[in-house]
Amino acid sequence: MASVAHPEATRRVRRLERIWLERPGLLGWLTTTDHKRIGMLYLFASLVFFGAGGAEALLMRTQLLTPNGTTLSPGAFNEVMTMHGVTMIFLFVIPISTGAFGNYLVPLMIGARDMAFPRLNALSFWIFAASGLFMYVGLATGNGPNAGWFDYVPLASRTYDPGSAIDFYALGLIFNSISTTAAAINFIVTIFKLRAPGMSLNRMPLFCFAFLAVSFALVFALPALSIDCVFLELDRRLGFSFFDPAHGGSVLLWQHLFWIFGHPEVYIIILPAFGIATSIIPTFTRRRMVAFPMVALAEILVAFIGFGVWAHHMFAVGLSTITTVYFAAASMIVVIPSAIQLFAWLTTLVTGRPIFKTPLLWIVGFIVFFIIGGLSGIMFAAIPFDQQLTDTYFVVAHFHFIIFGAAVFPLLGGLYYWFPKVTGRMYSERVGQASFWLTFLGSALTFFPMHIVGLLGMPRRVYTYSPGLGWDGYNMVETIGAYIVACGLVLLVANLVVSYFRGAPAPDDPFGGATLEWSIPSPPPAYNFAVIPTVTSPYPMWDPSDREEDARKLERGEMVLDTGHETPATSVLDANLDEVLDMPSDSPWPILVALMMSGVFAMLLTGHLIAMSVFLGLLALVVGAWHGEEPEEVT
């Protein structure tokens, strides 16, 4: 719909613009329910947390540059180390992948005008932002969580960690889980119900399959974490005895529940990266993904198997042999769906005509790091190997290759890939490639030597080490690598910021992408699609006749839905048109609900139960007001 020349068509587009207009200015951002603006809010907030988590990483690496470093005190190191993990996982990777990329792109890829529950979507963002601030208030007031990101009891019990550091952790994560659960449910319903007519499940982009798998994993994984944190708070604040062996409790209970959440979490972190890879590879190789159905199934299988492998994080705690053997075997099975995807990407690259522009470079870097991190992962399924190397830097090396190399690289590639769509400007290709190479080489330099110091026996989470153990040179290289990564990332941000103001104007479809987001103007209008598209394949942009038909429909006024704030709902499997929905527009209630919930959690933390009840009452009032507004009946 690049050219809207027909007078009737112009009139309809104007009307859509009027209907979907939101409040201007700051108030507009605070009350927005537009999935694209919420996506941008998520992006900026998660990048701020990424900056904080990165600064924490650099602080740790500076401390470890030489033996007996004095940059951080042991206590400060523990806080910084814990907050680095919590931030990167809960406040950066999940929010940027589901929150920013998912929010912005899923509705565009499936041809919808918004998420299924736009106000819930806004609520998810505000709760996420509040929960992140909540935990950082802890750090700022000298009560930063300090027992590691997996917070094992008894170290995290009141006896060994008095004060409120762990309370900030437990309450913050419960708060954060509410946001993530709401977002996951929203994605599933959006993908089930709002796909454009004709986009049956087998024609849905692989990106959306990845997000569907992630969302299901979140729905079933997060309750274990939340209930674990509830137990911890009951133990710490009210003197319950869940984790107290003296009264029949068990410290292993914490570990089991944590990892029942924690291992699916690993796939939750990496699946969005797989989704981004399956978007970028076809575009830059000019061919369809090899083995589309296998890749879709593998994405879902990874999320599913992730629930049966949690105890491989616990091989060193003294579980029975039969248990460890089962979990070792189950962990090896994960190799199968991962390899299916890996070989599908490689085959697509090899049999296509790859153009190594910046986004594809990040994906190639991702594949390299995923192979390295994946191979060291398989090693851990061997129980004796795991027992030897658990809690050493070898583990740190493994999961940073996976989490930074494999999960974050595609996110950064995705930032470049969709930058023209979101801003309407092109980024600088030369600076983009430079930022990739700096980050790639810096990461290898930072994380590869960690394998070696791990094998040499350096334990993880230590605030310093003695000279003469053979670790000094490796640690120095790692720290230098970390600063090179930081330079690469600063270059990336600078590239995007400068391009936002000075970049060349971007066409609607600068790369010849395959999915529907490239069919609309850059940046996308508030209503996304002037005509609800009809889809006949998983690569709708490579079906030019369908897109020409969309343009003719705009002239005829079919599927324009310009009588209200409307989007169609379709059936779950076949995406047959079911009904037209009246969607909510901007609303003050989500941010107010998030504020009241913040009040409740803050009062829980400080123990002011009366004030907490007041906030609960206010919360009920605001929720009631929210539900006082009902949608129009569209016939």
Report how far apart, in Å, the C-alpha atoms of 28 and of each of 101, 423, 525 are: 21, 19, 16
Minimum CB distance to other proteins, residue 371 (Å): 33
Contact 590, 566 (CB under 8 A): no
Q: Does 556 bind other proteins (CB under 8 A)?
A: no
Minimum CB distance to other proteins, residue 626 (Å): 11
Applying CB under 8 A, the site for other proteins has a residue count of 50
Q: Does 627 bind other proteins (CB under 8 A)?
A: yes
Choose between 25 and 248: whose C-beta lies nearer to other proteins. Answer: 248
Minimum CB distance to other proteins, residue 357 (Å): 38
Secondary structure (3-state) at 356: coil
Q: Does 231 bind other proteins (CB under 8 A)?
A: yes
Residues shown for the chain: 635
Choose between 257 and 486: whose C-beta lies nearer to other proteins. Answer: 257
Measure the CA–CA gap between 179 and 127, rounded to whole angstroms: 6
Minimum CB distance to other proteins, residue 169 (Å): 19
Contacts of 517 (CB under 8 A, 6+ apart): 105, 108, 109, 418, 421, 524
Minimum CB distance to other proteins, residue 195 (Å): 11
Q: Rounded to 5 degrees, what are φ and ψ at 392? A: -110, 175
Choose between 217 and 277: whose C-beta lies nearer to other proteins. Answer: 217
Choose between 268 and 290: whose C-beta lies nearer to other proteins. Answer: 268
Choose between 197 and 481: whose C-beta lies nearer to other proteins. Answer: 197
Measure the CA–CA gap between 530 and 491, rounded to whole angstroms: 37
Q: Read off the amino acid at residue 175.
A: F
Secondary structure (3-state) at 21: coil
Minimum CB distance to other proteins, residue 250 (Å): 5
| Residues 62 to 101 in contact with other proteins, rule: CB under 8 A | none
Choose between 133 and 185: whose C-beta lies nearer to other proteins. Answer: 185
Choose between 228 and 265: whose C-beta lies nearer to other proteins. Answer: 228
Token reading at 17: 């613009």
Measure the CA–CA gap between 63 and 462, rounded to whole angstroms: 10
Contact 412, 362 (CB under 8 A): yes
Q: Does 185 bind other proteins (CB under 8 A)?
A: yes
What mask of x and - would describe binding to other proteins in positions 289 to 318, judged by CB under 8 A?
Answer: ------------------------------
Q: β-strands 577-582, 566-570: how paired? A: antiparallel
**Looking at 28-36, 344-352, 604-612, 623-631, which segment touches other proteins (CB under 8 A)?**
623-631
Q: Which of 87, 131, 143, 226 binds other proteins (CB under 8 A)?
A: 226
**CA nearest neighbour of 487 among 411, 430, 434, 448:** 434
Minimum CB distance to other proteins, residue 1 (Å): 27
Q: Read off the amino acid at residue 230.
A: V
Contact 299, 213 (CB under 8 A): yes
Measure the CA–CA gap between 482 and 212, rounded to whole angstroms: 34
Q: Rounded to 5 degrees, what are φ and ψ at 4? A: -110, 80
Q: Which of 62, 66, 71, 571 binds other proteins (CB under 8 A)?
A: 571
What mask of x and - would describe binding to other proteins in positions 106 to 135, judged by CB under 8 A?
Answer: ----------xx------------------
Q: Which of 58, 219, 300, 614 binds other proteins (CB under 8 A)?
A: 219
Q: Which of 19, 155, 452, 572 binds other proteins (CB under 8 A)?
A: 572
- CA 484 remoteness from chain centre: 24
Secondary structure (3-state) at 566: strand
**Looking at 164-172, 180-188, 508-516, 609-617, which segment touches other proteins (CB under 8 A)?**
180-188
Q: Rounded to 5 degrees, what are φ and ψ at 34? A: -70, 125
Q: Does 579 bind other proteins (CB under 8 A)?
A: yes
Contact 327, 381 (CB under 8 A): no
Minimum CB distance to other proteins, residue 629 (Å): 10
Cis check: omega of the bond before 505, within 30 degrees of 0? no
| Helix ranges (DSSP H) in 456-543 | 472-502
What mask of x and - would describe binding to other proteins in positions 235 to 274, judged by CB under 8 A?
Answer: x--xxxxx-x--xxxx--x--xx--x--------------
Choose between 166 and 396: whose C-beta lies nearer to other proteins. Answer: 166
- Write out the residues near other proteins by the rule CB under 8 A: 116-117, 181, 184-186, 188-189, 192-194, 219-220, 222-224, 226-228, 230-231, 234-235, 238-242, 244, 247-250, 253, 256-257, 260, 569, 571-572, 576, 578-579, 581, 624, 627, 630-631, 633, 635
